[in-house]
Amino acid sequence: MTVKITQRITGFKVVDETLERPAVTADNTTGKTTVVEMDESLQRPETLVGMTYKIKSPLFEHALYVTVNDVVLNAGTPHEQRRPFEIFINSKNMDHFQWIVALTRIMSAVFRKGGDCTFLVEELKAVFDPRGGYLKKGGVYMPSIVAEIGGVLERHLIHIGMLEGHTLDETQLQYLAEKRAAYEASQGAVTVEPGEGFPAGAQLCSKCNTQAVVQMDGCATCLNCGNSKCG
């Protein structure tokens, strides 16, 4: 729409139309639906849906409990969207209290800004503890406790549909099962590690960070993600 200004401009004001909106679709009476997007002006609803994840790490004496609460925008419309709104971490262990509070406040602020927050997963998962990481059950290498928090956020975002999971398809799974059977046959009796059950002595995979790489016919093959390097 074009507006022709016929008088002198004596002042102006930026009108913030989005200020203080509730997290529901506004005004169904006019038949017009307004799609609510995530941004800082969104008021926190009285109740939020959330999930709590437990992290056990040899670096921590007590478990960490990570709670991510989500807001459901445009509920009941085709634009329905579940987004993380805030994150809290609780533990009996107070040694790490300051940085955990700082990290979760900043993460919550990023969630509330709106836009893409999935980058947090890769950023956090790339943090290495200079004292060294640890292997989790199932042979997955965790480079730090911060990376573990990134992993929890990833699981949560996959769960609410903001990130795609890395599940392998039928053909890939069949290929891995064949590779594995061939490896076990070539080795005779194979000792299997507890957890996900990759052969004992398997090496760490640089692609999926899992201790599942075995040597087969001159190739290093990962029995978890199928990554293979020959020669």
* Dihedral over alpha carbons 125, 128, 131, 136 (to 10 degrees): 30
Q: What CA–CA distance (Å, rounded) separates 64 from 91?
A: 5
What is the smallest separation between the CB atom of 172 and Zn ion, expressed in angstroms? 12
| Interacting residue with Zn ion among 192, 207, 215, 229 (CB under 5 A) | 207
Nearer to Zn ion, 108 or 227 (CB): 227
Closest contact distance (angstroms) between CB of 199 and Zn ion is 14
**How many C-beta neighbours within 10 Å does residue 139 have?**
22
Tell me if 208 contacts Zn ion by CB under 5 A: yes
Let me know: does 125 contact 153? Beta carbons within 8 Å. no
Residue 230: strand, helix, or coil: strand
Draw the binding track, 63-102, toward Zn ion (x: CB under 5 A; -: no contact). ----------------------------------------
Residues in the chain: 231
Specify the 3-state DSSP secondary structure of 219. strand
* Cβ proximity to Zn ion, 103 vs 135, nearer residue: 135
Residue 211, strand partner residues: 204
Residues 6+ apart with CB under 8 A from 159: 51
User: What span, in angstroms and rounded, lies between the C-alpha atoms of 67 and 90?
Assistant: 8
Q: How far is the CB of 215 from Zn ion (least distance, A)?
A: 14
Q: Among 205, 211, 214, 221, which residue interacts with Zn ion (rule: CB under 5 A)?
A: 205
- Check binding of 227 to Zn ion (CB under 5 A): yes
Contact between 214 and Zn ion by CB under 5 A: the answer reads: no
How far apart are alpha carbons 36 and 34 in whole angstroms? 6
User: Binding of Zn ion at residue 48 (CB under 5 A)?
Assistant: no
225 binds Zn ion (CB under 5 A): yes
- Shortest Cβ 147–Zn ion spacing (Å): 16
- Span from 19-27, 29-37, 148-156, 219-227 in contact with Zn ion (CB under 5 A): 219-227
Binding residues for Zn ion (CB under 5 A): 205, 207-208, 222, 224-225, 227
